[in-house]
Amino acid sequence: MKNSIGLDKEKVKVLTDKLNDLLANYQLYYQNLRGFHWNLKGNHFFTLHNKFEELYNAAQLSIDEIAERIVTLEAVPLHTYSDYLNHSTIKEHKNVTTSHDTVTKTVSSLTTLIEKERDTLNSANDAGDESTVDMMTQLIAFQEKTIWMLNSFNHK
Ligand SMILES: [Fe+2]
């Protein structure tokens, strides 16, 4: 059985479940970045305060793209905080204030997102869904580059 955009419904179900899992993780990543932006202390305040703002703004755009892709694929995007908390592998970070810890936790979250995006990309390939493949490819490339820069920042 095909859906309205000509993709196999069962394969798309596997894909939209993964996109929803990714969406939940993005929401935790996003809110953690807001906390880092607000609570950071120390010599690197101005640099990282701005960097975290740049990253959460990018995340907010990605969140909307992922959610709207899920709707386009005829599924319902997760849209409540309780669902996000239940589905996310990335955990909440509370009272993290040092530049080292905020950057380390951001890198770790990005690694989690990339792993999930690669898995989602494989399911999108399996469903013949090149739009989602393209979306995942772009997210992965951006996050790999961000990890490089954050690791360089934290280098001793
Ligand atoms: Fe701000």
- pLDDT digit string (tens) for 102-131? 999 999 999 999 999 999 999 999 999 999
Q: 118 C-alpha to center of ligand 1: Å?
A: 31
- pLDDT digit string (tens) for 58-116? 999 999 999 999 999 999 999 999 999 999 999 999 999 999 999 999 999 999 999 99
Q: Which residues pair with 8 in a beta bridge?
A: 2
Rounded distance, CA 24 to CA 81, Å? 9
Report, at the CATH architecture level, how domain 9-154 is classified: Up-down Bundle (1.20)
Rounded distance, CA 10 to CA 26, Å? 25
Kindly indicate the confidence band of residue 136, based on its pLDDT and cuts at 50, 70 and 90: very high
In the chain, domain spans: 9-154
Helices 9-39, 45-72: crossing angle, 10 deg rounding: 160
Q: 11 C-alpha to center of ligand 1: Å?
A: 41
Q: 30 C-alpha to center of ligand 1: Å?
A: 13
Rounded distance, CA 127 to CA 120, Å? 11
Q: 72 C-alpha to center of ligand 1: Å?
A: 32
Q: Which residue has the tokens 């380390």?
A: 104
Q: 52 C-alpha to center of ligand 1: Å?
A: 9
Helix H or strand E encompassing 65: helix 45-72
What is the reported pLDDT for 143?
A: 98
Q: 147 C-alpha to center of ligand 1: Å?
A: 22
What is the reported pLDDT for 156?
A: 77
Q: Are 48 and 29 in contact (CB under 8 A)?
A: no
Residue type, 64: D
